[in-house]
């Protein structure tokens, strides 16, 4: 496959007009075009002779990107559901449906995220997820599970089922790892709970341990970071707020350069001004856009189940009573657009949707940036930063309406025919 005439986000996260050659699952090369110019301001018009014109020959598929943006495939490391499906459904098809849904929004890889449910239900759900994990995906690729619960604080549980919360339990994690080896990637924990210190010490080198649904104060959070906690789940949400005399967990996270932080960038969960300020504080390498989407994402307004709760979806937001939020109906792609609209540089927004989450879960050497030798996980964005083509490991998993034609042409580079 050859992607021609794209404004490519290179491995330094600067945009240059380039061609990308894909061989099998791998990026074989990225070749700058001699007349390349820097990217136009995001949200402005990109002049394209033809948007994503597709040519297929007997040897290779050629896609003329027409000047649109080629960015690394988006990686959503916190997504419960979408398109009517949920990770915790006791269904063999739920994760397949979620995978297809995410591909439409530019996601090439994701972590299926659980809710706090009883252990038998959790194991049943993980059995279905594990089957998909070891199968060839129909859409976005599953790269692991984000375990959000049951090791959370009852006082900050939100929509999570408080009746099945547990103290941090080493044996449960070992049981999951034994039954589903390599599946767990992120484990959420409230560090103030009894047993959390030992839990963090035990697993800090094996998983990304994340503060979540926690009533921890500043000092407890600092101690958890010293023990090996390295991530924060949906920063600001379901944790103590900042107070000038009690800075709480947020300040402990922001001030430590070793900790990454998820942000739900739907402009509902966090005020735009605070969101822009947080990106400035975190810098280019620590912020991670997540959707935290539930099954109502991509669906009409109505009522949808999340865990054991019935959640109302309306006007692009969720509500499980008295205006309380319960996940989102957003996407990483929308988060990128929202960030750019409030002044975050496009390059930083793309980092937060790609290489930063890849590094959180330890796959940054394989994916998360467009460079030779990495997996061909690529998303094409139009001039409005809306995904029009999603590629996962060299396969097109989503494409919007495109101009297509068939030709017998082949690619010739340096006098050598290139075959896929």
Contact by Cβ (8 Å): 367, 374:
yes
CA 112 to chain centre: 10
Contact by Cβ (8 Å): 258, 285:
no
Distance between CA atoms of residues 102 and 96, nearest Å: 10
The per-residue b/e assignment along 78-93, b for 16 or more CB within 10 angstroms, e otherwise, is bbbbbbbbbbbbeeee
Provide the 10 A C-beta neighbour count for residue 205.
Answer: 8
Distance between CA atoms of residues 234 and 77, nearest Å: 11
Contact by Cβ (8 Å): 66, 48:
yes
Which positions are catalytic? 292
Nearest alpha carbon to residue 329 among 290, 293, 289:
293
Distance between CA atoms of residues 236 and 241, nearest Å: 7
């Amino acid at each position: 496959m050859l992607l021609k005439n794209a404004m490519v986000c290179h491995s330094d996260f600067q945009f240059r007009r380039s061609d990308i050659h894909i061989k099998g699952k791998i990026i074989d090369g990225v070749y700058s075009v001699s007349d390349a110019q820097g990217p136009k301001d995001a949200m402005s018009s990109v002049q394209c002779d033809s948007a994503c014109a597709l040519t297929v020959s007997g040897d290779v598929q050629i896609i003329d990107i027409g000047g649109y943006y080629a960015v690394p495939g988006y990686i959503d490391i916190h997504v419960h559901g979408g398109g009517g499906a949920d990770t915790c459904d006791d269904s063999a098809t739920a994760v397949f449906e979620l995978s297809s849904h995410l591909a439409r929004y530019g996601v090439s890889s994701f972590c299926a995220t659980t809710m706090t449910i009883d252990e038998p239900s959790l194991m049943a759900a993980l059995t279905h997820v594990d089957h998909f994990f070891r199968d060839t995906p129909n859409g976005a690729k599953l790269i692991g599970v984000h375990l959000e619960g049951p090791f959370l604080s009852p006082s900050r549980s939100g929509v999570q089922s408080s009746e099945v919360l547990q103290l941090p339990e080493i044996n449960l994690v070992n049981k999951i790892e034994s039954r589903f080896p390599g599946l767990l990637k992120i484990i959420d924990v409230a560090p103030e709970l009894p047993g959390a210190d030992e839990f963090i010490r035990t697993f800090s080198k094996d998983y990304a341990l994340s503060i979540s649904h926690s009533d921890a104060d500043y000092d407890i959070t600092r101690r958890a970071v010293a023990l090996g906690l390295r991530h924060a789940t949906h920063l600001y949400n379901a944790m103590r707020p900042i107070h000038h005399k009690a800075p709480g967990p947020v300040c402990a996270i922001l001030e430590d350069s070793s900790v990454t932080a998820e942000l739900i960038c739907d402009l509902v969960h966090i005020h735009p001004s605070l969101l822009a300020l947080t990106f400035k504080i975190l810098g280019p390498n620590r912020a991670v856009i997540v959707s935290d989407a539930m099954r109502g994402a991509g669906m009409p307004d109505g009522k949808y189940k999340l865990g054991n709760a019935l959640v109302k979806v309306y006007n692009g937001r969720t509500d499980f009573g008295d205006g309380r939020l319960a996940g989102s109906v957003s996407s990483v792609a929308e988060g990128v657009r929202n960030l750019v609209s409030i002044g975050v540089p496009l390059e930083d927004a793309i980092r937060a949707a790609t290489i930063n989450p890849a590094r959180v879960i330890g796959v940054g050497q394989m994916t998360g940036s467009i460079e030779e030798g990495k997996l061909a996980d690529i998303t094409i964005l139009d001039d409005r930063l809306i995904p029009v083509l999603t590629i996962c490991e060299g396969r097109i998993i989503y494409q919007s309406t495109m101009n297509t034609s068939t030709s017998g042409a082949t690619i010739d580079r340096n006098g050598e025919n290139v075959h896929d």
